[in-house]
């Protein structure tokens, strides 16, 4: 009975819309039901969005809008795929500290699925770069206060924050642990890297000043 109800609910799952509020159910659906063709589609779309967002900081006001879109479409998915490959490996290893059970394939699918909200930014980003390339491709300091920039910055900030929440839930679901454990699994690598960097900087400074003492 429970299994039949679960299957019936899964049939009604739309990853592109349900990821926002039915995160864990959607991630489990993608992990168990979706092929890697679907994951590749997500990598292309989320990478395209990430590529366009990255172009906003390029200070390339002299670049043609179509060139910016083409560059984002080519380089974005490649960069995102690399990030997913590396990120999934790290999250699988860190998850073991919290008794997580996700395989690399499960974590990879979960991580890619968690970025679906970025896809919703694509239409807005494409319209923006085509309609107002002088604000999209300009240095942020040169267009500070522009209504389009302000509105889009708020929209992207909200989506980014909610995407982080979704990532924590997705990691928790992949590992079959709580969302709070998913949160710590996500942030722990960053904390460790920060500590390592600080230690390296401290050692370098100590060595530098020792030479002049």
For 139, the 3-state DSSP assignment is coil
How far from chain centre, in Å, is Cα 87?
10
**3-state DSSP percent of the chain in helix, strand and coil, to 5:** 80, 0, 20
In a domain, 126, yes or no: yes
This prediction has a pTM of 0.86
In a domain, 198, yes or no: no
Per-residue pLDDT of the chain (213 residues; tens, 9 = 90+): 445 555 555 568 999 999 999 999 999 999 999 999 999 999 999 999 999 998 886 566 677 889 989 999 999 999 999 999 999 999 999 999 999 999 999 999 999 999 999 999 999 999 999 988 888 887 766 667 788 888 998 999 999 999 999 999 999 999 999 999 999 999 999 999 999 999 999 988 887 777 665
Looking at the structure of the chain, the number of domains it has is 1
Using CB atoms within 10 A of its CB, is residue 100 exposed (0-12), middle (13-18) or buried (19+)? buried
Q: Structural domain of residue 129, as residue ranges?
A: 2-187
In a domain, 92, yes or no: yes
In a domain, 192, yes or no: no
In a domain, 119, yes or no: yes
- How far is 79 from 90, CA to CA, in rounded Å? 17
In a domain, 140, yes or no: yes
In a domain, 212, yes or no: no
- How far is 173 from 141, CA to CA, in rounded Å? 40
């Amino acid at each position: 009975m429970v299994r039949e109800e679960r299957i019936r609910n899964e049939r009604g799952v739309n990853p592109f819309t349900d990821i926002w509020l039915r995160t864990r159910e959607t991630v489990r659906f993608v992990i168990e039901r979706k092929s890697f063709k679907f994951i590749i589609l997500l990598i292309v779309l989320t990478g395209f969005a990430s590529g366009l967002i990255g172009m906003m900081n390029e200070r390339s006001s002299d670049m043609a809008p179509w060139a910016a879109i083409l560059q984002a479409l080519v380089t974005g998915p490649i960069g995102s795929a690399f990030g997913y490959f590396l990120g999934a490996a790290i999250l699988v290893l860190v998850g073991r500290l919290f008794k997580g059970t996700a395989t690399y394939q499960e974590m990879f699918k979960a991580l890619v699925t968690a970025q679906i909200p970025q896809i919703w930014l694509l239409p807005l980003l494409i319209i923006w770069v085509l309609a107002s390339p002088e604000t999209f491709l300009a240095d942020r300091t040169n267009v500070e206060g522009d209504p389009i920039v302000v509105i889009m910055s708020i929209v992207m900030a909200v989506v980014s924050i909610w995407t982080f929440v979704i990532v924590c839930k997705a990691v928790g679901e992949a590992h079959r642990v709580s969302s709070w454990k998913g949160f710590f699994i996500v942030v722990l690598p960053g904390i460790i890297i920060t500590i390592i960097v600080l230690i390296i900087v401290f050692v370098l400074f100590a060595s530098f000043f020792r030479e002049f003492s």
